[in-house]
Amino acid sequence: MTNSQHKLITFLSIARRRMRYLKLYDSLAFYVFCGMLLSGIVLLVNRFIYLSDGIYYFSAIPIFIGLVIALLRTFLEKLTLYNVAYKLDAELDLKERLCTALELVDAGRVEEFALLQIDDTVHIAQDVNLKDVYPYTLPRFAKFIPIALSLILVSWMIPRYYQLPSEPTAAERAAMQAAADALEENLNSQNALTESVAKDLKENIATLRNGKTDVRSIQKQLAELRGEINAQHEDLEQTLKAMDTAMQQSPLFPDKSPDAVAKELEKYAEQLQNDDIPPEVKKELEEILKRLLAQLDGSKTSQALVDQLRAIESQKLSPEALRSIAQKLSELANSKQSMEQLEQMLAQIQDSQQKIGLAGLDLERKGGGVARSDSGAGSESNTGEAQGTEVNVDAAPTGNESTELTLKAQETAEESFSSASTRETPETRSEVSASYQEVYLNAKQAMSEAVTSGRIPARYREYVLEYFEAIAPSH
């Protein structure tokens, strides 16, 4: 290769390198700007709508993706010396001299005319300043990057328009662990749950053991699980009632329990196989099975039995069909024995909800104090007792001499503490009992009045409402 040929190749290689750098700068400016703009929009939306705890880590993903795309588009693009020569010829108006000279070099032409052509092209190329042709200037989209940065900064400065769920306290975490232990023990000792409900229960146990999930989410999941188990329990109960209704007027089944009916069907299947069954009994069986299908249609618990009854609806009654129905009834009898386990599971979940709700309430009195008449905070006393203003109260006779109320005090210049006492004779003492439902409704009504009147501070109202939701009696 002659000196002129070497200079031509060097010139085109330098031009290609500058073209790659400019392509990289433009790609980085465009795709990084798009990534930053998308990140800023996501962060801004997160100030109004809660998206995720790790949104600040996820918001960097669009920027990283933009950076990767810019690098791939730059270095995976095939840029040959011929591409460079064509572009330079077009930009410098060289009448395809660079392309022709490069073709002569690649072809190895050494005749005098070819060498003169290459020398002339190199002479022209030496007068070309590549810094002027391809200057390293600021890319067009780089001017818009401050806008995306400003959007990200604004998203950090805007306050949140929602309250993040707080992490569980130590008492709540302890209550969650105890609830997980109790539910897991109950899960391992029973087999009444369906596959989907058992799966949901395992997921709830894992969430309880996590220790970082907020109490509101825990209570919501437990309430949903409780609803699923309660629906299964009610469906099973309705299925058993439907069986009693379908066979109530039939003398063929003295005992209407699923297990007893299954045994009777086995006996009738044997008679049908031996052609010993009377026609009226066979007809009665067909009528009973039709009524049973009508009663059980739509039941999830006995879906397999419903499918079996529907399969023989268009066929003649056969011993195999009766035995299959008897088998499904036996399985239903086992489900009946599991109803008590379902009730225990429901009670356990409700108990867990109540304990977690109680753990979230700060029942320890830090210091004494009572609310003022304007619902403001009362003053604190050093002794931990409620401090108020002394008054003279004279108890008027009410006709009930067994109860006495005295409030004796003297007005003094300085505030002191008063004592109140109640006395009741043992003979007139009586016990008052009420159902849990009545107690809950009375307490909830008092809570509603307190929330409406503003006696409960705003920051505690949400916790109080969640607590009453957690201890709500099951229906």
Mean pLDDT of the chain: 74
Predicted confidence at residue 190, as pLDDT, reads 58
195 plus 323 within the same structural domain: yes
pLDDT at 376 over 70: no
* Residue with the larger pLDDT of the pair 133 and 198: 133
Domain membership of residue 440 (yes or no) is yes
Per-residue model confidence as pLDDT tens digits over 184-208: 877 766 555 667 777 877 888 888 8
Per-residue model confidence as pLDDT tens digits over 465-475: 777 777 777 65
Cα–Cα distance, 333 to 321 (Å, whole number): 18
Per-residue model confidence as pLDDT tens digits over 244-297: 777 766 677 777 677 777 787 788 778 777 777 777 777 777 777 777 777 777
**Domain residue limits at 440:** 436-470
DSSP symbol at 93: T
Domain membership of residue 420 (yes or no) is no
pLDDT at 51 over 60: yes
144 plus 210 within the same structural domain: no
Domain membership of residue 201 (yes or no) is yes
193 plus 338 within the same structural domain: yes
Domain membership of residue 80 (yes or no) is yes
211 plus 178 within the same structural domain: yes
pLDDT at 14 over 80: yes
* Residue with the larger pLDDT of the pair 103 and 170: 103
Predicted confidence at residue 193, as pLDDT, reads 64
Per-residue model confidence as pLDDT tens digits over 214-226: 777 777 877 887 7
CA dist list (Å): 27 to 32, 34, 156 = 8, 11, 28
pLDDT at 415 over 80: no
98 plus 212 within the same structural domain: no
178 plus 106 within the same structural domain: no
136 plus 174 within the same structural domain: no
Predicted confidence at residue 192, as pLDDT, reads 57
pLDDT at 60 over 60: yes
The domain boundary, picked from 122, 157, 192, lies at 157
Cα–Cα distance, 440 to 474 (Å, whole number): 11
Q: Which pair of tokens denotes residue 152?
A: 């990200």
Q: How confident is the model at residue 22 (pLDDT cuts 50, 70, 90)?
A: very high
Predicted confidence at residue 434, as pLDDT, reads 55
181 plus 134 within the same structural domain: no
What is the pLDDT averaged over residues 417-444?
A: 54
Q: Which pair of tokens denotes residue 176?
A: 């969650």
CB 259 within 8 A of CB 328: no
CA dist list (Å): 328 to 28, 86, 181, 295, 304 = 68, 83, 34, 16, 7
333 plus 261 within the same structural domain: yes
Q: How confident is the model at residue 335 (pLDDT cuts 50, 70, 90)?
A: low
The domain boundary, picked from 336, 361, 386, lies at 361
Q: How confident is the model at residue 26 (pLDDT cuts 50, 70, 90)?
A: very high
Predicted confidence at residue 313, as pLDDT, reads 67
What is the pLDDT averaged over residues 232-249?
A: 73
pLDDT at 385 over 60: no
Predicted confidence at residue 314, as pLDDT, reads 65
> Which region among 31-35, 38-42, 109-113 has the lowest average model confidence (pLDDT)?
109-113
Judged on CB neighbours under 10 Å (0-12, 13-18, 19+), 418 is middle
Domain membership of residue 324 (yes or no) is yes
What does pTM read for this prediction? 0.45
Domain membership of residue 39 (yes or no) is yes
pLDDT at 1 over 70: no
Cα–Cα distance, 462 to 451 (Å, whole number): 10
Domain membership of residue 309 (yes or no) is yes
What φ, ψ does residue 161 adopt, rounded to 5°? -100, 25
Predicted confidence at residue 422, as pLDDT, reads 43
110 plus 211 within the same structural domain: no
Q: Which pair of tokens denotes residue 22?
A: 């400019």
CB 238 within 8 A of CB 302: no
What is the pLDDT averaged over residues 315-330?
A: 76
pLDDT at 138 over 60: yes
Predicted confidence at residue 12, as pLDDT, reads 92
Full DSSP string of 451-463? HHHT-S-HHHHHH
pLDDT at 63 over 90: yes
Q: Which pair of tokens denotes residue 375?
A: 């619902």
Full DSSP string of 25-81? HHHHHHHHHHHHHHHHHHHHHHTTS---TTHHHHTTHHHHHHHHHHHHHHHSS---H
38 plus 128 within the same structural domain: yes
pLDDT at 32 over 90: yes
Q: How confident is the model at residue 333 (pLDDT cuts 50, 70, 90)?
A: low
Most confident residue range from 43-47, 318-322, 417-421? 43-47
Portion of the chain with pLDDT greater than 70, in percent: 73
Q: How confident is the model at residue 326 (pLDDT cuts 50, 70, 90)?
A: confident
Domain membership of residue 377 (yes or no) is no
Q: How confident is the model at residue 19 (pLDDT cuts 50, 70, 90)?
A: very high
The domain boundary, picked from 361, 386, 411, lies at 361
150 plus 201 within the same structural domain: no
In the chain, the number of structural domains is 3
Predicted confidence at residue 56, as pLDDT, reads 83
Predicted confidence at residue 64, as pLDDT, reads 94
Cα–Cα distance, 261 to 275 (Å, whole number): 21
What is the pLDDT averaged over residues 67-95?
A: 90
Predicted confidence at residue 421, as pLDDT, reads 42
* Residue with the larger pLDDT of the pair 398 and 78: 78
* Residue with the larger pLDDT of the pair 379 and 309: 309
Predicted confidence at residue 350, as pLDDT, reads 75
